[in-house]
């Protein structure tokens, strides 16, 4: 036994390996969240509202945090108005209609030899300019619509949505603080996905080849919980740890009602 403790043993092995001489059937395991997420902002801004507290359930896509968007919303309102206003287009269209009528009259007069060809050419040039002005007005409206979309995305960047369905495990910032951008910045919230849960088990090498993806496994939660649940094998490590003679297995445990807490030990019984 002394020689065993002198060798470095992985933490997961200490938590999850069941002694071969244990009187209880199965293998010690650990129930954990499927994933943990730190929610950060992609842009810098003052936190205007935080809609959740620690322990609250959240849905994927739910707005959890809002940054101040006063300046962006003002610009967005202007872009929305420019995208729908018709004054410039109607004015350009009226000028084009008048220029077309003028050209048609001048063209008829030239055919009757009442005016010089130059007069007709001048009216044709006016009509071309009016056509260009109408196209420019239409282009400006389309540009305003694109600007509206861009500003919508800018406003949306200042809404932090939950990337998972789960629970809030920690709230690290408060309303009025500045949320900084970047991977090294302080997160606003920490979240954990609790449906499904993952179960980590370390098995002796003698079980290798007997456990396959998709196998059903009975999982008993540690006291004081008394439930027995059914999980499925999702990952079987293809590399065996030579020092301990073990390999890892991951199970997926459905938890639609959130009745199974994460972070508890369990025993996995392989059929």
Q: Tell me: the pLDDT tens digits for 185-229? A: 999 999 999 999 999 999 999 999 999 999 999 999 888 878 889
H or E element: which one contains 185? none
Q: Tell me: the pLDDT tens digits for 6-17?
A: 333 344 443 444
Over the stretch 232-269, which tens digit does the pLDDT of each residue have?
Answer: 999 999 999 999 999 999 999 999 988 888 999 999 99
Indicate if the alpha-carbon torsion angle 172, 169, 233, 24 is positive or negative: positive
Domain positions in the chain: 2-67+166-270, 70-156
The CATH superfamily assigned to 2-67+166-270 is Efflux pump adaptor protein, beta barrel domain (2.40.30.170)
Pull the structure tokens for residue 25.
Answer: 């059937």
pLDDT at 61 (0 to 100): 94
C-alpha–C-alpha distance, residues 72 and 43, integer Å: 13
pTM for the whole structure: 0.69
Residue 27 has pLDDT above 60, yes or no: yes
- Which of 22-26, 159-163, 228-232 is the least confident region? 22-26
DSSP character for 113?
Answer: T
Distance, CA of 92 to CA of 133 (rounded, Å): 6
**Percent of the chain whose pLDDT exceeds 90:** 49
Q: Rounded distance, CA 178 to CA 137, Å?
A: 41
């Amino acid at each position: 036994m002394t020689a065993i403790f002198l060798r470095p043993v992985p933490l997961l092995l200490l938590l999850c390996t069941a002694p071969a001489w244990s009187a209880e059937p199965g293998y010690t395991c650990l129930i954990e969240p499927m994933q943990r997420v730190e929610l950060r902002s992609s842009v810098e801004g003052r936190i205007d509202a935080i809609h959740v507290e620690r322990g609250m359930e959240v849905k994927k896509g739910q707005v959890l945090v809002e940054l101040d968007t006063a300046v962006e919303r003002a610009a967005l309102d202007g872009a929305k108005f420019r995208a729908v206003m018709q004054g410039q287009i109607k004015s350009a269209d009226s000028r084009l209609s008048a220029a077309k009528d003028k050209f048609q009259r001048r063209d008829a007069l030239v055919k009757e030899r009442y005016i010089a060809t130059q007069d007709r050419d001048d009216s044709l040039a006016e009509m071309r300019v009016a056509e260009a002005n109408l196209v420019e007005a239409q282009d400006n409206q389309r540009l305003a619509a694109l600007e509206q979309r861009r500003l919508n995305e800018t406003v949306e960047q200042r809404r932090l949505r939950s990337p998972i369905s789960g629970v809030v495990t920690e709230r690290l910032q408060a309303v009025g603080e500045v949320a900084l951008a970047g991977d090294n910045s302080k997160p606003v919230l920490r979240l954990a996905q609790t449906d499904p849960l993952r179960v980590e088990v370390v098995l002796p090498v003698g079980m290798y080849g007997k456990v396959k993806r998709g196998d059903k496994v009975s999982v008993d939660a540690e006291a004081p919980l008394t439930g027995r649940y059914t999980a499925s094998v999702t990952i079987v490590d293809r590399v065996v740890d030579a020092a301990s003679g073990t390999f890892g297995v991951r199970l997926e445990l459905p938890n639609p009602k959130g009745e199974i807490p994460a972070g508890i030990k369990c025993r996995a019984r392989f059929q």
